[in-house]
Structure 1
């Protein structure tokens, strides 16, 4: 989830809880105020009736609610003295209405001359109930409008606030350390964004310097190591051609020469791997893998014949991919060479080209390889010194550079499949 959406989510939940509590408290307070207003009216009405009893004895004949909103009943002194004013909510049948209506009732006691009376007065709360209902729905609508408005407003505000951050993020996605592109900038006066820009630019400058130094080292190492190795190999070959060399020395020189040749191959592979990981191959174009497979099979035909291995190519589609052609050739060549080298006498290698992938299948030892280590550097399934242990590591590095997927499986035969583009 995006940081913006997370901010809005937490803010929305907080607003939801706050507004919910506020709405409940507001509703309860308003309900209490309405009841207080009704109760005050009943108190005033009670006092008016008690005052009328001093001038009008007919009021004491009001025994039910048919002729008014109050009743008076004579009670004992003991009952009157133990009675306190209290309010109740109930339902009464009104003459002008067909149904029972809600009312709020006040029951009290008073003394007139030497007698004690119970006075019950009521007031219809139909309008108040309607008011409370309208108030309730008004609060609900206000609540919904308020929450939605706050969320929308905050969404707009937060989007504007985080806009420089997402602009910087897009710049970083397109940023390439090997290109002389300008440093990313944040168009904002926010202190944290400015600090982020400074820290990021400092990191980029340091990374560029490191990349430049590493690139120079790779180029220098390629030249400085290959030249002396070539000179040593040449001189050793000249020594082998001399007839005066003792047989034991010939054998020793031959072993040294093989070691030098292996060191040369290892140096080339390590330099290639470093260049791939540093993304120093940028000459991308549409590569026709069918042609490259044919070329690699032709180049390795003598090697396959020497090891008595048969190569078969099956093409079900034309496979094109935008990448560096030299790396595409190395990718195919390493997989084919690996399948031939680790095969058995009289074995087979099958190459199958599909629309969005190709696979190399070969016979070999009757057990699966360790899938967790097979693409590691210097991981070898053989003790043969002619292998550098970097072939599959280079394959994996090339696939990772272009976003391909390389997978190994074993079903009686060893199979390496490289999936590209829409084939994922």
Structure 2
């Protein structure tokens, strides 16, 4: 849930009970006032009727009058010093329904006789008035609540705008473009503190990135020269006819290890460049063309092992990769499929616009999951003459370009699959 939505929901959860409580309180207060005013009217009517009855003759028709609003009935009950007020519901012919009334009743004495006097006032019009008032209150409260929520939403959105701007910049950060990122000054102290911390952090990260990049490139470059000199010297020694067989074997072993060290240096530099995002996507190379190219380059190795190549590929498959990394990905996957295959083995290649997989037969068992894409972990389990960086490089390529790389093993078949996720 977004922060703005969350604060609005919390505000709504707080305000709804308050508004509901206020509405019930006002409703109760208004109803009480209506009832109080009606009771005062009944008391005033009682006083007027008492004055009138004191002057009326015993044979006055008033003593036989009986209506919903007034009723005077002879009774044997003792005279009451105080009247009694209550709410009753009676049938009202004009409304053709049961209607609420406020009733005043009291036993009084007139000309020496006791009478039960009952005065009533209909509450139906007052109930209608209360309903109208409630509707107006609900409309007013709803409008007020909507206005408050809308105002709170707009105010919160404006206040949090610098935060979301900084967040958007953080999400779009690229290591090679950190120097161009600046978090602006705002009129909110807390956001200024946050942006200042982010500016300091990005500056430190960019400095560390630049230093690491320069160190990696310089180290790789400086290592290549002595490696090349050592290899050339060993090549000259291998051509010396005066050396013994044991000396030649020692020199050849040293030469092979130097070559391995050179490949290791190159691969580590490549990994560092991929991690530093130094291979932006400037074009989309055709993976079909790339596969055909390396099948042709590896033709001699394929013929040597007498491998069967089975292809199921679309005519064109442009992928969102740097051309150099596409070369590395295809050559590594296809090279491994050839290298670790056996005589008369099979390689299956499947290519679609968003999926690329290479399956190969092999006598080597399944690669353990904890070693699959780890660096320097391929010397065991039959994987010899390898620096253990091939699959690590492919995995790094996949991660850097939001591709999905999976591995499967079934019945002697090793399968690596790359998906674009589109």
Q: Under a length normalisation based on structure 2, what TM-score does the superposition of the two structures give?
A: 0.89
Q: 1:123/1:242 Cα in 2 relative to 1: closer, same or farther (>3 Å)?
A: same
Shift of 1:277: 0.6
Alignment of 1:227-242 (within 5 A): 227-242=225-240
2:47 and 2:370 map into 1 onto residues whose CA distance is 94
Match of 1:11 in 2: 11
Q: 1:144/1:243 Cα in 2 relative to 1: closer, same or farther (>3 Å)?
A: same
The CA deviation string for residues 47-100 of structure 1, in whole angstroms up to 9 with x for no partner, is 3323333333557954663285343443433x747x762312312435x55444
- Contact 1:106 1:120 (C-alpha < 8 Å) held by counterparts: yes
Tell me the number of residue pairs that the alignment of Structure 1 and Structure 2 aligns.
419
Match of 1:416 in 2: 416
Partner of 1:344, secondary structure, is coil
Q: Specify which of 309, 312, 334 is matched with residue 311 of structure 1.
A: 309
2:19 and 2:367 map into 1 onto residues whose CA distance is 62
CA-atom RMSD in angstroms: 2.7
The CA deviation string for residues 376-418 of structure 1, in whole angstroms up to 9 with x for no partner, is 2233263444111111111111111111122222343222121
Moved more, 134-143 or 368-377: 368-377
Alignment of 1:80-159 (within 5 A): 80=80, 85-94=84-93, 98-110=96-108, 116-159=114-157
Q: Under a length normalisation based on structure 1, what TM-score does the superposition of the two structures give?
A: 0.88
- Contact 2:69 2:120 (C-alpha < 8 Å) held by counterparts: no
Which ranges in structure 2 are unaligned for 5 or more consecutive residues? none
Q: 1:88/1:392 Cα in 2 relative to 1: closer, same or farther (>3 Å)?
A: same
Shift of 1:350: 2.0
- Contact 2:175 2:277 (C-alpha < 8 Å) held by counterparts: no
Do structure 1's residue 407 and structure 2's residue 402 form an aligned pair?
A: no
Shift of 1:209: 0.1
Q: 1:67/1:320 Cα in 2 relative to 1: closer, same or farther (>3 Å)?
A: closer
Partner of 2:88, secondary structure, is strand
Match of 2:391 in 1: 392
- Contact 1:172 1:184 (C-alpha < 8 Å) held by counterparts: no
Moved more, 49-58 or 129-138: 49-58
1:67 and 1:85 map into 2 onto residues whose CA distance is 17
The CA deviation string for residues 119-153 of structure 1, in whole angstroms up to 9 with x for no partner, is 32110112101111112222222233222222222
Do structure 1's residue 269 and structure 2's residue 270 form an aligned pair?
A: no
Q: Specify which of 345, 350, 361 is matched with residue 348 of structure 2.
A: 350
Q: 1:407/1:68 Cα in 2 relative to 1: closer, same or farther (>3 Å)?
A: closer
Shift of 1:233: 2.7
- Contact 1:61 1:72 (C-alpha < 8 Å) held by counterparts: no
Which ranges in structure 1 are unaligned for 5 or more consecutive residues? none
Shift of 1:204: 0.7
Structure 1 segments, 4+ long, off by >6 Å, are none
Shift of 1:213: 0.5
1:98 and 1:21 map into 2 onto residues whose CA distance is 35
2:295 and 2:120 map into 1 onto residues whose CA distance is 106
Q: 1:60/1:389 Cα in 2 relative to 1: closer, same or farther (>3 Å)?
A: farther
The CA deviation string for residues 206-248 of structure 1, in whole angstroms up to 9 with x for no partner, is 0110110110011011112222222333333333333343433
- Contact 2:183 2:198 (C-alpha < 8 Å) held by counterparts: no
Alignment of 1:324-403 (within 5 A): 324-365=322-363, 368-371=366-369, 373-380=371-378, 382-403=381-402
Shift of 1:112: 5.5
1:323 and 1:309 map into 2 onto residues whose CA distance is 29
1:10 and 1:97 map into 2 onto residues whose CA distance is 47
Q: 1:254/1:62 Cα in 2 relative to 1: closer, same or farther (>3 Å)?
A: farther
Q: 1:154/1:144 Cα in 2 relative to 1: closer, same or farther (>3 Å)?
A: same
Q: 1:133/1:3 Cα in 2 relative to 1: closer, same or farther (>3 Å)?
A: same
